[in-house]
Amino acid sequence: MRPVAAQILITKRIYPEAVQFLRSAFEVDYVDHDDGLTPEQLRARVRGKAAIVCQLTDRFDAAMIDSLEGVRILANVAVGYDNIDVAAATRRGILVTNTPDVLTETTADFAFALLMAAARRIVEAHAFVHSGEWRRWTIDLLVGYDIFNKTLGVFGLGRIGQAVARRGLGFGMKILYHDLRRAPEEVEAALNARWVSKEELLAESDFVSLHVPLTAGTRHFIGAAELARMKPTAILVNTARGPVVDEAALAEALERKTIAAAGLDVFEAEPKVHPKLLDLNNVVLAPHIASASVETRRRMSMMAAENAAAALSGRRPPNLLNPELWIQP
């Protein structure tokens, strides 16, 4: 393909094959570092562009979207798209896409890794061995909690929630889930998963894993009241979005041991972490890397590039979030 006039802005570093793919057909303005652009820089840089390949740290609120002239598509390099006001984009006729499916298993692996690390105190154990404090075997040295045969509660039985539940099945776990919509019968049957109320899930689960999107309705979905319903031996895992959990309330619950532990990949004000969480041993912390395998991050980059290329070539982008805009004559 020969470069055409349409211009694409890539707001941050992505995998090189995705940049090459776009450069083979379009003029590309590539911000080839990770610092990102301030809203002012973004507004200036976006002039004359028909597509923007963006990341979850780029905020496209209604005001920013209203200032975009001539942009046909925002191609987010993430499955989550709470950084984009999709309704505002739709009003302006701007297509929005995300990167579903390619990161499902990778993210579920990581959620389960956090669950296991928190239950079996792997990070504490590693630090303990490193510290030189290990003198002898004792009956209760770094004892944690069993995982097999326990109850796993999944909030949000979408693609990633189901993949986490499948892992739980492999550990002989009983699967409970809560979602606004009941999953199809065959999904429930395959996972041996039972729909329960939010309250029941919190009260019955040994492990609670969060897989709901961040929306106005899920902000602080887990707060002090929800944490108080959980077992004192329960472990909370969050690989969804930080603001789904009230971080101050969680830090308090972990400090007072009203729940046993947590594994967190996401935070309310990334990259800031509630200072109390940094001082606690019963929480495993990761810097928003649940989808971070080489294979998956490469696939996410390509998928976003393909979405942008499709829109600019007059084809329906495969991962369109506002299909109502795609009315072909």
Q: Annotated active-site positions, please?
A: 241, 270, 288
CB of 30 to ligand DGY, least distance (A): 20
Q: Does 118 bind ligand DGY (CB under 6 A)?
A: no
Window of 74-82, 132-140, 147-155, 227-235 that interacts with ligand DGY by CB under 6 A = 74-82
Which of 28, 78, 222, 254 binds ligand DGY (CB under 6 A)? It is 78
Site string for ligand DGY, 28-57 (x = CB under 6 A): ----------------------------x-
CB of 105 to ligand DGY, least distance (A): 13
Q: Does 79 bind ligand DGY (CB under 6 A)?
A: yes
Q: Hunting for tokens 């065959």 — which residue is that?
A: 186
Q: Does 103 bind ligand DGY (CB under 6 A)?
A: yes
Site string for ligand DGY, 248-287 (x = CB under 6 A): ----------------------------------------
Q: Does 291 bind ligand DGY (CB under 6 A)?
A: yes
Nearer to ligand DGY by Cβ, of 7 and 99: the residue is 99
Q: Does 80 bind ligand DGY (CB under 6 A)?
A: yes
Q: Output the residue with the shortest Cβ distance to ligand DGY.
A: 80
Hey, CA dihedral for 72, 76, 97, 53, is it positive or negative? positive
Contacts of 198 (CB under 8 A, 6+ apart): 155, 178, 226
Q: Which residues bind ligand DGY (CB under 6 A)?
A: 56, 78-80, 103, 291
